[in-house]
Structure 1
Amino acid sequence: MTAGRANDQPFPSVIPVFPLAGVVLMTGNSLPLNVFEPRYVAMVRDAMAGARVIGMVQPRSGVDTARPGAAPPIYDVGGAGRIVDCKETEDGRFLIRLEGVGRFRIEHELAATTPYRQVQAVWQPFGLDPTEGEERPAVIDHEGIIKALHHYLDHKGLSADYDAIAGTPDKLLVNTLSMIVPFSPAEKQALLEAPDLPARAKLLVALLDIASHEDMPPSQIS
């Protein structure tokens, strides 16, 4: 198995994975993490000494079991991130920031001797270019996304700077909302696995619309 490449930088075919329910990492986006569990502290330390690549995956159960030695089944597709910021605290934690470099599919999990899990990653189905999906102009309903977000936030009693959001590039808008809106783990996984940006955008709007009608009396749903 050969390593993948991104921006002419080789990526390993074997990577450590960090299972977290409800957390996905999209290509080109950043993810801050406070790493405190000993096995994942070891993972960060080893990654910093190597390729600095960590795979973010979700447990299939939708529940992140943090007890030592726990190894819940994980989804086959994850988002890989390169550690671009790393600070070790006085109490032994790591404060890191991952920059999404691409999606990967798990070929199989290794019988690792490390305290953290490792997988054989296949990059080819998705590619590693941080501009994935942008080789040709993507048709994104930007206004539709803003409208769906507005309805969702109104339903939750929240607000946002819609002028600033309206000026956000399509890819950043779609991927950021896919990461930060508190959808279910299964819904976030579907967003991660969307074949391209337009498909992800359509699914995002659909999920926002569904969430906007939760707990509403039937008479108020139009």
Structure 2
Amino acid sequence: MMHSADLPDTLAVFPLPRAILLPRARLPLHIFEPRYLQMFEDALKTPARLIGMIQPCPGQMDQSGTVSQSEDGLQAIGCAGRVTQFSETEDGRYMVTLSGLSRFRILGEISGFSPYRRCEVSWGGFERDLGAGESDPAFDRAGFLALLERFFLAQGLSTDWGSLQEAEDELLINSLSMLLEFEPEDKQALLEAPCLVTRRETLVTLIEFALRGGAHEDILQ
């Protein structure tokens, strides 16, 4: 089993809003920007083949009420994934699969000549990520799937319900946390949940909120 001490102190990061990676889950990526193509090729040259997925910080509102669209800010916590699969297209793009390894906390950004962003990171506090998969003994799967079916119907989504019913607790909760469309701050809350139980509770709250109409609930009443 890998320990946090075995992980690098610096990490290339890929800022992408509404995209989170969770430990022991898989994230497909389509890489085509030159700076991220370079990042990917450099990652393949390292033993760990790690890329850090992280969300940009939301824009800051100034005194005039204008929201800044600067991409300078990064969330404090992201998740590193190991490149486990990739294929190259005829026009030089890459289809990549990252397998989630561990969350990390940014200590500071490294300045230099790299076209992509690199950060000093700490893995402390996320030792659970490197262990065995988590379980959720109190998980009401039938009730959760019924809620999820209502949500999918309201959103006009479809899925393979047989696969969802057969998926292990962690795979089901983490995959939905990554795939479902929520606001960036909500996705960050799912990422930062300290354990699977908390993540499941957060996910249920977000689904129920969406079914009630979200921010429009007071207007509808």
Normalized against structure 1, the TM-score is what? Answer: 0.84
Aligned to 1:131: 132
SS for the counterpart of 1:87 is strand
User: Which of the two has greater helix per residue?
Assistant: 2
Deviations 1:9-41 (A, max 9, x none): 932110100000000001111111111111111
- Is contact 1:144–1:205 with CA below 8 Å preserved after alignment? no
- Is contact 2:57–2:71 with CA below 8 Å preserved after alignment? no
After superposition, the Cα gap between the structure-2 partners of 1:211 and 1:37, relative to the gap in structure 1 and judged at 3 Å, is same
After superposition, the Cα gap between the structure-2 partners of 1:113 and 1:31, relative to the gap in structure 1 and judged at 3 Å, is same
Normalized against structure 2, the TM-score is what? Answer: 0.84
Aligned to 1:103: 103
Which structure 1 residue ranges, 4+ long, deviate > 6 Å from structure 2? Answer: 215-221
Separation in 1 of the partners of 2:197 and 2:167?
16
Deviations 1:93-130 (A, max 9, x none): 22211000111111111113211111111112112415
- Is contact 1:138–1:197 with CA below 8 Å preserved after alignment? no
Amino acid at match of 1:27: P
Aligned to 1:122: 122
SS for the counterpart of 1:42 is helix
Separation in 2 of the partners of 1:89 and 1:219?
48
Deviation, 1:212, is: 1.3
- Is contact 1:27–1:101 with CA below 8 Å preserved after alignment? yes
Deviation, 1:61, is: 1.6
Aligned to 2:67: none
Aligned to 1:194: 193
Amino acid at match of 2:38: A
1:72 lines up with 2:72 in the alignment: yes
- Is contact 1:22–1:62 with CA below 8 Å preserved after alignment? no
Separation in 2 of the partners of 1:46 and 1:177?
30
SS for the counterpart of 1:56 is strand
Structure 1: runs of 5+ lacking an equivalent: 64-69
Aligned to 1:52: 49
Q: What is the number of residues matched between the two proteins?
A: 209
Amino acid at match of 1:58: Q
Identity of aligned residues (%): 37
1:30 lines up with 2:64 in the alignment: no
Aligned to 1:82: 82
Root-mean-square deviation over aligned CA pairs: 2.7
Separation in 2 of the partners of 1:141 and 1:193?
22
Q: Which moved more, 1:122-131 or 1:182-191?
A: 122-131
Structure 2: runs of 5+ lacking an equivalent: 61-69
Amino acid at match of 1:44: F
Deviation, 1:160, is: 3.5
After superposition, the Cα gap between the structure-2 partners of 1:36 and 1:161, relative to the gap in structure 1 and judged at 3 Å, is closer
Amino acid at match of 2:203: L
